[in-house]
Amino acid sequence: MRRILFLLVLATAAAAEPYRFEPPAPTSATSVVLKVSTTWRDGCLPQSPTVTRNGKQVDVRWSTPLGFGCITVISPWRTEVPLGLFEPGAYEVTLRVDDAPGETTLAKKTLVVGEFAPSYQLVPPFASTRGGSQVAFRAPVLDFRCGVDAEVRVDGVLVPSSAFGCPVTAFLPAHAPGPVDVVIRYGGTTTTIRSTLRYIDPAAAPDPAVFERILVPIIFSGPGAFGSQWVTEGQIYNGGDFGFPWFPDVAKPACSGSCELEWRGLIPLSAFGSQPNGRILFVPRGFADQLAIGGVVRDVSREEISRGSELPIAREKDFRTEEIAFPNIPVDARYRLMLRIYDLEGVAQAATVTIYRGTPSSGPGISLPITTRLIPMSAPCTTTPCNSARPAYASVDISALIPASVPGPVTVIVSSPSSSAPAPMWALLSITNNTTQQVTTIRPQ
């Protein structure tokens, strides 16, 4: 059992992304921070980072203590390094450690910085490497003359464009992935937009710097316990002033025909097909706030009793690397408790579930755990980046883990077994009446 636990913890540490930039999509007005969440080979952790810039090259260098006495055990290493402000452009960031054996290169990361408040809003702010994309360039204030000839150049190459209607629309050819500079000549004015338009490969894993992730935790129609017949009903509403592009390939709905979400338009959650373990929606950053998602989960075999319960939706900011706590959960033989755990990155890992009677306390009358379980999670990928719209997932029958002698309430805590590289997780707890099938959902607060 100890060996299985150790292997699961190692898998968790290997799966999570060890080096991240925050925010994931910085602009020239945003200070960038490098976040490290990984392990080091011994107890002498790298320290005293220095940041050196040379044009588009950025070097982050740590050092380890010179000497002996380091505990020879793999140790958690979590730190943050402020990198500061950058001009728009793409930068190669090299992470190194100077230690006794010599210099160690940890990773090379690409940091893309866009313009703050560019002269035009790009809709969408990306194009396909395959070509054939259309991008509209909208001025914040529509004060230019519609129909005036426009000229658009991408990386210095003239591309087809049209100014029919006020936005300038460019028809972009194939191009290598990455950020590009765009020059627009319109109405006698020439404007350069630096590193804000990105070419991305539709078949590749979605770039977290381009796409924000939103979790729909269940899309399901089918039988359940005690003769219940469950359905998920819901819609996505686009409250913005422009259409919503489903891109890249993994983001597209499963429906046949057109599933585009036009401005002020709706699309049913059922368009994504059956997703009993949840579905991740990839939304271009800056677009997510214009989407509203509403849904219910209900038992259609007992419609005269209940119209269903709200389907909670988890946005990227709702996922945590810290523990997730559900206090004051009632225990009653007439109800069943189900815990659902989701990993945003879609990688194979495990979660630790601990149940306390009442609330954990470090003072007098400490509450000892009723049980602690290591729960493996099913996942579409083993490492990041993951090219899938399915999250890593596990479900736990909490009722089965609580002895009949425990009257409740209980506190349920979900955490990562790895303190060095915890993956971002979210959880949902449901309480279902065995007779009426009425569901109460509890989300982390």
Give me the amino acid identity at 438: Q
Q: Are residues 106 and 125 in the same domain?
A: no
Q: Are residues 157 and 73 in the same domain?
A: no
Is 206 within the bounds of a domain?
A: no
Is 364 within the bounds of a domain?
A: yes
Domain end point (choices 91, 113, 135): 113
Q: Are residues 87 and 175 in the same domain?
A: no
| Cα dihedral: 169, 174, 177, 182 (round 10) | -40
Half-sphere exposure of 281 (CA within 13 A, CB side): 29
Q: Are residues 350 and 432 in the same domain?
A: yes
Beta strand 189-200 with 126-128 is parallel
Q: Are residues 70 and 100 in the same domain?
A: yes
3-state percent helix, strand, coil for the chain, nearest multiple of 5: 10, 50, 45
Contact 74, 46 (CB under 8 A): no
Is 109 within the bounds of a domain?
A: yes
Domain end point (choices 160, 176, 200): 200
Is 248 within the bounds of a domain?
A: yes
Is 4 within the bounds of a domain?
A: no
Contact 20, 35 (CB under 8 A): yes
3-state class (DSSP) for residue 272: helix
Q: Are residues 265 and 309 in the same domain?
A: yes
Is 7 within the bounds of a domain?
A: no
Q: Are residues 165 and 264 in the same domain?
A: no
pLDDT in tens, the chain (445 residues): 333 333 333 344 444 678 999 999 999 999 999 999 888 988 889 999 999 999 999 999 999 887 667 888 888 899 999 999 999 999 999 999 998 778 899 999 999 999 998 888 898 999 999 999 999 988 765 555 566 678 999 999 999 998 766 688 999 999 999 999 999 988 778 999 999 999 999 999 999 889 999 999 999 999 988 888 889 999 999 998 788 788 999 999 987 666 788 888 899 999 999 999 999 999 988 888 899 999 999 888 887 787 888 999 999 999 998 899 999 999 999 999 999 999 999 998 899 999 998 765 555 445 778 999 999 999 999 988 899 999 999 999 999 999 988 887 999 999 988 766 678 899 999 999 988 888 999 999 8
Q: Tally the domains of the chain.
A: 3
Domain CATH code at residue 132: 2.60.40.10
Q: Are residues 129 and 52 in the same domain?
A: no
**Domain with 97 in it:** 26-113
Domain end point (choices 71, 94, 113): 113
- Could you identify the residue written with the tokens 């658009």? 152
